[in-house]
Amino acid sequence: MLNCLVTGAAGFIGSHLVDRLLEMGHHVVGVDNLVLGKMVNLEHASHSGNFIFQKLDVNDYPGCLEFLRLRHFEKPFDLVWHLAANSDIQAGGANPDIDMQLTFLTTFNLLKMMQALKIPRLAFASTSAIYGAHPGAVVEETGPLLPISNYGAMKLASEAAISAACERFLQVCWIFRFPNVVGSRATHGAIYDPDELEVLGDGTQEKPYLHVGELIEAMIFIQQQSKEKRNLFNISPVETVSTVRYLAEKVIELAAPDARIRYTGGDRGWIGDVPKFRYSVRKLENLGWAPKLTSNQAVDLAVQENLGILKS
C-alpha cells in the first residue's frame, strides 16, 4: 500500500481522488488552503483511519515543508498527487497574479519540497488549456503549445518545471491533461450554481465533458500502467463533445423547468475560453483504458448528481 500526499484535497476532483485512494487501501495525507475547497467534500474521508487532513497553503514554503517533513519522517511518502491550483479561469484572466501564485508557484514550491524530502514520484493535474486553440483533435504531441489563458500558461509552465525536475531528482512523473470535468462536489463552473441561468457566450461552444468518476479511474490506471520516466496523457471521452447549450438545457430540464436561459452572446464564454475543442485519446486507449460514458452522458449524470444543489 502506498503513502500518498494529495494537494488540493478538499477540492472537487481532489476529494474524489482521496476517497478512491482510501478505498484502495492506501494511506493519504491531504492538504488544502480551502480558498476554493470545502471540508464537507472530505466528510467521507474523515471517517477513515488512513486519512490525515491539514489546512495548509502549499506556497507557505517553511510551514508546508515542516509539516511534510514530520509526516515523511513518520511514514515516507511514495507518491504526490498535485491538484492544488486556481480553478477559476475567469478570475485568473482578470488578475494574472492568481494563476501565477496558485497554479504555477504551488507546483514550483511543491517540487522544491519534494526535492528537499527526496519524494520520488509526482502525478499532476494538467489541462487541455495548455494547447491553446487548435483545429482538429489534439494529440499529446500537438504543438506549438500556445495557451490563450493565463491558467493554461501557468499549467504549461508547471508541466515544464516538472519535466525539468525529472532530470534532477524526480524518478517519474505522470501528467494528465484533463478536459472539462463534471460531477458531484464541484466547487465552481458550469453546473454548480443552482440559480444561474445566465450562460456565458452563445451556447455553441463545444467541449468534451468527462465524469469525475471516470477521470479518477483513468488517472489511477495511467499511474499504475504507464512506466516511462515522463508519462503524458490526454484524458477525455472518446470522440464526443457537448455543446454548452446542451448542458444549460439539461440543467433547466431537470432542475428548473420554468426557468429561462439567457445567453450573454459571442462565440466564447470569456477571454481565454477555447470555444471548440476536441481531444484524441488514442494513446490512452492503446494503454488499455477508455471511458464508458459519452460527453452528453457524463453531463446528464453530473446534472442528476447535483440536483439537490441545483434545486436548493
Report if residue 12 touches ligand NAD, rule: CB under 6 A: yes
Closest contact distance (angstroms) between CB of 215 and ligand NAD is 9
Report residue 57 as a C-alpha cell.
Answer: 497553503
Closest contact distance (angstroms) between CB of 127 and ligand NAD is 4
Report residue 54 as a C-alpha cell.
Answer: 491539514
| Dihedral of the alpha carbons of 178, 45, 58, 173, in degrees to the nearest 10 | -40
Query: Is-cis flag, bond preceding 120, omega within 30?
Result: no
Report if residue 281 touches ligand NAD, rule: CB under 6 A: no
Report if residue 36 touches ligand NAD, rule: CB under 6 A: yes
Stretch that binds ligand NAD, among 5-13, 230-238, 246-254, 271-279 (CB under 6 A): 5-13
Strand-pair category, 206-207 with 242-243? antiparallel
Which one of residues 187, 223, 231, 243 is an interface residue with ligand NAD (CB under 6 A)? 187
Given the complex with ligand NAD, which of 49 and 309 has the nearer CB atom? 309
Other residues' Cβ atoms within 10 Å of the Cβ of residue 83: 27
Which one of residues 84, 173, 298, 301 is an interface residue with ligand NAD (CB under 6 A)? 84
Report if residue 79 touches ligand NAD, rule: CB under 6 A: no
Report if residue 147 touches ligand NAD, rule: CB under 6 A: no
Report if residue 83 touches ligand NAD, rule: CB under 6 A: yes
Full DSSP string of 11-68: SHHHHHHHHHHHHTT-EEEEEE--SS--GGGGTTGGG-TTEEEEE--TT-HHHHHHHH
Which residue is associated with the grid cell 472539462? 180
Report if residue 33 touches ligand NAD, rule: CB under 6 A: yes
Closest contact distance (angstroms) between CB of 133 and ligand NAD is 16
Given the complex with ligand NAD, which of 69 and 262 has the nearer CB atom? 69
Other residues' Cβ atoms within 10 Å of the Cβ of residue 188: 15
Given the rule CB under 6 A, which residues bind ligand NAD? 7-8, 10-14, 31-37, 57-59, 83-85, 87, 102, 106, 125, 127, 178, 180-181, 187
